[in-house]
Amino acid sequence: MHTETERNRLITIAKRFSEKQWMLGTSGNLSLKLQADPFEMLITASGPDKGQLQAEHILRVGLGAEVLETSAYKSSAETLLHEAIYKAFPSVSAVFHVHTLAATLLSTQQDTHSLTFSGLEMLKGLGQNTHECQVNVPILPNTQDIKSLANVLASQLLASTPGFILAGHGLYAWGESVEAATRHIEIFEFLFQLRLAELSLHAEVSIATGRACVRK
């Protein structure tokens, strides 16, 4: 199968996300589905700097994270989560995973199983028809037992939200095209940064109010 174009697409996106500091320290992984039956996808290899990927760093992988070509590189354990997402949503053709500061911070500071956003124009970028909607982003507990998580992942996801956060770890997002998955990662990250800014603003207001009370 000729996959040079697809490999280059993943390399370009990895570079773009790396420049935004979303794939630091070789973290994260990006995949796109080549075919559903038998299942095959391309996914970034574990190890190389995501900002400097070459074609050899993009692996052709089948069911169970089996690498389908001779390679010096391995696919990451998280490859099984990509596969689980493609299985859960057959129309999805790209799955992206990044370790962003905002997703990591929000998922560890808030004692909640999801982040909720409403009334924002940017929510339309996640497939909503209007800003007058509510989007819940699931936060799942992080684990090193990726195989077990992959087995139950489908039951934890929302058909209406193309993404989730692994607590203290990072963001997964997907789409029916590479462009849609890219857009979803960027929109989620905007929402998370917005939430951090809101929390910071509220903290400043409460400190200022506290000072005002003391002055009285």
Q: Which residues bind Zn ion (CB under 5 A)?
A: 170
CA-derived radius of gyration, the chain: 19
Instruction: Return the closest-CA partner of residue 40 out of 72, 9, 7, 86.
Output: 86
Three-state secondary-structure class, residue 103: helix
Residues 76, 77, 83, 85: what is their CA dihedral angle, to the nearest 10 degrees? -110
Nearer CB in complex with Zn ion: 162/170: 170
Minimum distance from CB of 81 to Zn ion (Å)?
9
Nearer CB in complex with Zn ion: 25/90: 25
For tokens 């997907």, what's the residue? 174
Minimum distance from CB of 80 to Zn ion (Å)?
12
Minimum distance from CB of 97 to Zn ion (Å)?
6
Minimum distance from CB of 192 to Zn ion (Å)?
16
Nearer CB in complex with Zn ion: 7/169: 169
The contacts of residue 8 (CB under 8 Å, 6+ apart) are 55
Report the C-alpha gap between 108 and 144 in whole angstroms: 17
Nearer CB in complex with Zn ion: 7/97: 97
Minimum distance from CB of 172 to Zn ion (Å)?
8
Nearer CB in complex with Zn ion: 163/170: 170
Report the C-alpha gap between 114 and 93 in whole angstroms: 25
Instruction: Return the closest-CA partner of residue 98 out of 13, 213, 159.
Output: 13
For residue 156, give both structure tokens: 């934890």
Nearer CB in complex with Zn ion: 18/123: 18
Q: Report CA-CA distances (Å) from 141 to 50, 104, 149, 156, 174.
A: 25, 12, 9, 11, 19
Minimum distance from CB of 27 to Zn ion (Å)?
6
